[in-house]
Copies of this chain bind each other. A is one copy, B any other.
């Protein structure tokens, strides 16, 4: 598996020791998230829209809503940036200046193109669904041909990609370590609560495996 080659556009410039181009590391971050923020231009104005994603080999797929506004300007491809951010904690330093966050993020630059092949589209939608909640796809009614047609799927090749990771304790100025100020990290994570059943569920349905076993 070849690693990503930093380009002038993906070379991490600020705090470059936080930059990563290792393909396995990037895929691990993508594996753990399921929401990205997609950026694109419409008539000189940038837009950033949250949307689900899924990876198949070295292609990232997004679908539906993100595309609707942008697709008006899509013809043969649209330049995009897809960013996945996993927040891991607040970094609480002794000085206001050195406060930070622990996070893992991936920034993907590329050109998004429309997926038109039905088999590729289905595979992409399955990947997006599995990314959000593994095993759910197999439990529910599959998409009809009409639904597939109504769904827009875009493909972005994973070519120009970088990750940025911060972990660990604050880095204070050396003299500030003598201050009687508590410093540390407040870990933060996205956790599920107990599932809420739809009041319209048929009687005696138990919570399915995909939901019971949900974790990231």
Instruction: Please give the residue numbers on chain A whose beta carbons come within 8 Å of chain B beta carbons, in ascending order.
Output: 9, 13-15, 35, 37-42, 44-50, 52, 65, 68-69, 79-83, 85, 87, 90, 92-97, 99, 101, 103, 105, 107, 109, 125, 129, 132-133, 136-137, 139-144, 147, 151, 169-170, 176-202, 205-208, 210-211, 214
Contact = CB atoms under 8 A, between A and B. Distances in A.
A182 B206 contact: yes
Nearest to A66: B14
A187 B183 contact: no
A205 B81 CA distance: 44
B202 A192 contact: no
Contacts of A197: 182-184
A193 B188 contact: yes
Nearest to A41: B46
Main secondary structure of the interface of A (DSSP, over half): mixed
Contacts of A80: 46
Contacts of A211: 92, 182, 184, 186
B48 A39 contact: yes
B188 A190 contact: yes
Nearest to A103: B50
B200 A195 contact: no
Contacts of A196: 169, 184-187
Contact of A90 (B133, B141, B147): B133
Contacts of A176: 141
Contact of A99 (B132, B190, B205): B132
Nearest to A151: B97
A202 to B, nearest CB: 5
